Chain A
């Protein structure tokens, strides 16, 4: 390891991950922290990194307060309803009251937002979504971050957080390595904002072989947003709340614009409407939640899954009517070209023209993230003016580790933030981080060389494992002493799929399965000490896998803890098939002891801030 160069960087604020949340954080940090040193470390290149690399065709979270379209309270009601009652309403309200200001700026910067010709307002796709020509969404916000940060380091895979040695439970920065040069990077920072995105490839995807990269969430979303805080003992929340998506088959093309704007609808293979058939069945499981409007996303999935299990698949999206209108046809195609090009590739290759043929839908494998119709992530403090005592410990969006902040997919309990809300949350976290640093005053953060050197050993070990192990065998990929990252990844996906509720078991699990799954994840963890990386690219894959595995452990622990089926259509606890408000109308929290690796689980109270008067509109 001695030949690896170490690059030191001391700064005030370190932003880990320059996606939607990270760019928002870097941007806002400069405004409040005028003389502070602000650094961003990004695994890829911020111009095209994260879930928005291809662009987006809609901004899914915009209130439209200027036209009195929605108020922050409405957003809280909407997110709460969709998540079967359970969200952090303080965080949801807080994001929602700021989000419009971000969107207005995006437009000023050049993001083409479509306008309704009659009203002059932003063109709505649905009640919450506005339509954009967003191919360059990411390069535009990246530029805003570049204009603010002192330095942006691209191609740095951040592997661990550093801890302050002068005060317990306080962050001191982060370390990682450059995927191109191999240099070891040490960032000593007073505050760290994690915006490292959600997790794909936790569960086995539907596509196999070459197509395994065609997941719904980006294949580079590696769960770092969860693993980094978990590793240092931060509390996590609602990690059982993984998401399953109804999407166009194989390409995972989004359905939002189709349902909301094109007014297409689904039917079973016999041309029948099927959702209403499952009403009584679903009501028996979840009670009156099935009567809510709009129907929660998971319950619509549930009807889909049951209909397919009953042998009446495939489910089709009826596009043939809408696509007769040339304008709607254009929207239908551009929707994919703007954010999921792979779907257009699938249709071109299979001669699927939705004007003449209703395309197939499917339900995806589960994903773990915190910004879509799901809210897995870190347990953070809310804003001081709104949050009740259990939700507030000093700085907005600070985790349970001092000086460690989060935004976007990183933060749990706040569904339906999407791109604009993640950017906004990054801004909120950055302002709070500046306040935190000012309050620190002259207090020094101490990170000694030993802490960094020890981590350096750990980080490069997979290269050494490979070099040593490779000499034992003639050639090929089979070694008795190391596992390649792809092999470990496939083991992880198989365990999660079969034991924790993936596609091959129709999203079903139970206590015994989970306990066995957790044992198998334990041995995988042991084997990951023997992961072998042939080069720097594989070293990155090795660390992505380690982050995914830790994230998965947390998901399994949470799923075991919550003894109910809260979100049928996302997953089922076969041993507790009903929603159980008496015992589980609460949030779940976990903490992994960094010394022992033991998990402790607890319930956190659920506060409702907003009344329900319009829930049933």
Chain B
């Protein structure tokens, strides 16, 4: 399909519509539930699957090369900061994986640069970016090159 939506689980909330980078999850006007309107432009990126509060979306591998009978399920738990995957092979074997997705409470450590001290003229003229040179973790400053080192058309 590659994504498809289970009729009995979807409540039409639209989270998948909001997130799909390909703009292909739409709410069907007749059944008032989500549907993948353009399966051949789906990347199987799982963004919609992760976003669905009802676990209503699943993926069936592309028909032109993926035999039926497999599944790759995901559960992304923002509060726990983890993502878990369950892979089921066509022959029934299973594999499970669990990974962290963040080490911080959501959004709290991401700064608002507008609240930092206003940089001066000197800083603006320099080659430094925000938080530099400190954030480079070196004490020799931002690396520089001399223009005299330029050589035109030398073959390396």
Contacts and interface: CB of A to CB of B under 8 A. Distances in A.
Interface of A: 27-28, 30-32, 34, 43-45, 47-50, 53-54, 65-66, 71-72, 80, 85, 93-94, 97-98, 100-101, 104-105, 107-112, 133, 135-136, 140, 143-144, 147-148, 155, 179, 207-215, 218-220, 250, 330, 333-334, 337-338, 341-342, 344-351, 353, 383, 385-388, 424, 427-428, 431, 434-435, 438, 486, 537, 540, 581, 585-586, 605-612, 615
B137 A104 contact: yes
B1 to A, nearest CB: 7
Contacts of B38: 537
B45 to A, nearest CB: 4
A294 B95 CA distance: 35
Contacts of B151: 607-609
A607 B119 contact: no
Interface residues of B, number: 87
B22 A213 contact: yes
A65 B138 contact: yes
8 contacts: A45-B18, A97-B144, A109-B104, A112-B101, A210-B62, A348-B89, A349-B67, A353-B89
Contacts of A581: 155
A31 B145 contact: no
A145 to B, nearest CB: 10
A45 B21 contact: yes
A386 B147 CA distance: 5
Contact of A155 (B23, B65, B101, B133): B23
Contacts, number: 290
B122 interface: no
B90 interface: yes
A615 B156 contact: yes
Contacts of B41: 212-213, 219-220
Contacts of A337: 72, 74, 85, 97, 99
B89 A207 contact: no
10 cross-chain pairs, A with B, having the tightest CB-CB distances, nearest first:
A110-B104, A211-B62, A101-B135, A66-B137, A349-B66, A348-B70, A342-B44, A110-B102, A349-B70, A31-B130
A537 B101 contact: no
A250 B65 contact: yes
Nearest to B109: A109
Given A211-B40, A211-B62, A28 B20 contact: no
B100 interface: yes
Given A427-B129, A537-B37, A54 B102 contact: no
Nearest to A136: B101
A160 B71 CA distance: 42
Contacts of A431: 124, 129
B12 interface: no
A48 B19 contact: yes
Contacts of A65: 136-138, 143
Given A210-B39, A210-B64, A353-B89, A609 B101 contact: no
Contact of B90 (A250, A333, A349, A486): A349
B102 A348 contact: no
A27 B62 contact: no
A66 B138 contact: yes
B31 interface: no
A341 B23 contact: no
A53 B102 contact: no
Given A207-B64, A345-B44, A350-B66, A133 B101 contact: yes
A385 to B, nearest CB: 6
A352 B97 CA distance: 17
B124 A32 contact: yes
Given A427-B130, A540-B23, 19 more contacts: A30-B112, A65-B137, A72-B143, A97-B143, A104-B135, A110-B109, A111-B103, A144-B111, A147-B112, A211-B62, A213-B62, A220-B41, A333-B87, A349-B69, A350-B66, A351-B91, A537-B24, A585-B155, A615-B156
A70 to B, nearest CB: 11
Contact of B62 (A71, A97, A214, A608): A214
Nearest to A44: B21
A143 B78 CA distance: 15
B152 A53 contact: no
B46 A54 contact: yes
A211 B63 contact: yes
A34 B118 contact: yes
Nearest to A438: B124
B127 interface: yes
Interface centre among B22, B85, B116 (most CB of A within 10 A): B22
Contacts of A330: 97
B32 to A, nearest CB: 17
A89 B144 CA distance: 13
A612 B156 CA distance: 6
B113 A30 contact: yes
B131 to A, nearest CB: 6
A209 B64 CA distance: 7
B44 to A, nearest CB: 4
Contacts of B153: 585-586, 605-608
A606 B152 contact: yes
A214 B156 contact: no
B43 A214 contact: yes
Contact of B88 (A49, A109, A348): A348
Given A220-B22, A388-B152, A93 B145 contact: yes
Contact of A100 (B67, B101, B136): B136
A349 B63 CA distance: 10
A211 B132 CA distance: 45
Contacts of B130: 28, 31-32, 427
Contact of A54 (B47, B101, B129, B144): B47
Contacts of A428: 129
A540 B41 CA distance: 13
A350 B2 contact: no
B44 A66 contact: no
B121 to A, nearest CB: 10
Contacts of B112: 30, 147-148
B87 A344 contact: yes
A57 B145 CA distance: 32
A348 B60 CA distance: 11
A431 B119 CA distance: 12
B62 A44 contact: no
B151 to A, nearest CB: 5
A353 B94 CA distance: 11
